[in-house]
Amino acid sequence: MKPFPQNKADKILFIRLRLLGDIIFTIPSIQLFKQHFPDTDIYYVVEEQFQEIGALIPGIHQLIVIPRKMGIKKMWQFRKDIRKTGFDTVIDFHSGPKSAQLTWLTGAKLRIGYKTPNRNFAYHRLTPRTFGDTYTHSVYNQAKLLEHLDIPVDINNLPGYPQIPIDETQIRDFV
Residues 10-38: pLDDT tens digits? Answer: 899 999 999 999 999 999 999 999 999 99
Judge whether 147 and 133 are in contact, CB under 8 Å: no
* Strand blocks (E) in 9-162: 11-15, 41-47, 62-66, 89-92, 110-114, 125-127
Judge contact between 108 and 91, C-beta under 8 A: no
Domain covering 11-174, topology: Rossmann fold (3.40.50)
Pairwise pLDDT comparison (94 vs 174), residue with the higher score: 94
pLDDT, residue 173, reads 67
Q: How confident is the model at residue 161 (pLDDT cuts 50, 70, 90)?
A: low
User: What residues contact residue 63 under an 8 Å CB cut-off, 6+ apart?
Assistant: 43, 44, 46, 51, 54, 55, 57
- Give the H or E element holding residue 27: helix 27-36
**Percent of the chain whose pLDDT exceeds 70:** 86
| Residue ranges per structural domain of the chain | 11-174
Query: pTM higher than 0.85 for the full model?
Result: yes
* pLDDT the model gives residue 1: 45
- Write out pLDDT tens, residues 95-144: 999 999 999 999 999 999 999 999 999 999 999 987 666 778 899 999 99
